[in-house]
């Protein structure tokens, strides 16, 4: 469940990120930790999100969050990038992770499977291509619900 403060935090963080050439892609407030941890995920549309981007965002966001007094006295602010654990969606993602192990999930069984694992070959308008032990698998894009890195391999 999304914490009640997240929409307000994103409203504060989005223009801060924009001024730095970044964008906010999500936020989570982990209140079960002591002190609580506010994690804001950012991305850099110009390329890979760097540690420097995270540090710049952290300093700039702290300067806005403190006076807003939205959060409890003690909390930890973490700025991160969704990085490689995120789902692939853009053409750039698909070209950047070509050859990496992937999990492709479908909305309904295709050739008897709703989940496919293999190395990413790419995609076109109609198909997502993966390689399983050297065998090319073609999965119709209209059935694909998720493509993500298989971090277990």
Reading the chain (153 residues) residue by residue, the pLDDT tens digits are 677 888 999 999 999 999 999 999 888 888 887 888 898 989 887 877 887 888 999 999 999 998 888 887 788 898 887 654 567 777 777 887 888 889 999 999 999 999 999 999 999 999 999 999 999 999 999 999 888 888 665
Strand ranges for 32-134 from DSSP E: 37-44, 76-80, 101-110, 113-123, 127-132
Under 8 Å between Cβ of 128 and 145 = no
pTM over cut 0.95: no
Backbone angles phi, psi at 138, to 5 degrees: -115, 115
The class of domain 91-149 in CATH terms is mainly beta
Q: What is the CA radius of gyration of the chain?
A: 19
Is the bond preceding 35 in cis, omega lying within 30 degrees of 0? yes
Closest CA to 55 of 85, 77, 72, 31: 77
d(CA 25, CA 7): 12
Domain ranges in the chain? 6-81, 91-149
Q: Which two tokens stand for residue 38?
A: 């506010």
Express the helix, strand and coil content of the chain in percent, nearest 5 each: 30, 40, 30
Return the CATH architecture of domain 6-81. 2-Layer Sandwich (3.30)
E-only strand ranges, the chain = 22-30, 37-44, 76-80, 101-110, 113-123, 127-132, 135-140, 144-149
DSSP state of 2: -
């Amino acid at each position: 469940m999304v914490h009640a403060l997240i929409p307000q935090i994103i409203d504060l963080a989005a223009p801060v990120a924009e001024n730095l050439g970044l964008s906010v892609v999500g936020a989570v407030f982990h209140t079960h930790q002591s002190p609580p941890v506010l994690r804001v995920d950012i991305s850099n549309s110009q390329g890979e999100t760097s540690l420097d981007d995270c540090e710049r965002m952290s300093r700039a966001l702290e300067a806005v969050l403190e006076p807003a007094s939205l959060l409890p006295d003690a909390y930890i602010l973490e700025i991160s990038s969704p990085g490689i654990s995120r789902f692939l969606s853009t053409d750039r993602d698909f070209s950047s992770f070509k050859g990496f192990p992937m999990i492709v999930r479908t909305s309904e069984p295709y050739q008897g499977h709703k989940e496919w694992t293999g190395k990413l070959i790419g995609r076109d308008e109609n198909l997502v291509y993966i390689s399983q032990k050297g065998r090319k698998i073609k999965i119709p894009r209209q059935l694909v619900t998720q493509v993500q890195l298989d971090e277990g391999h």
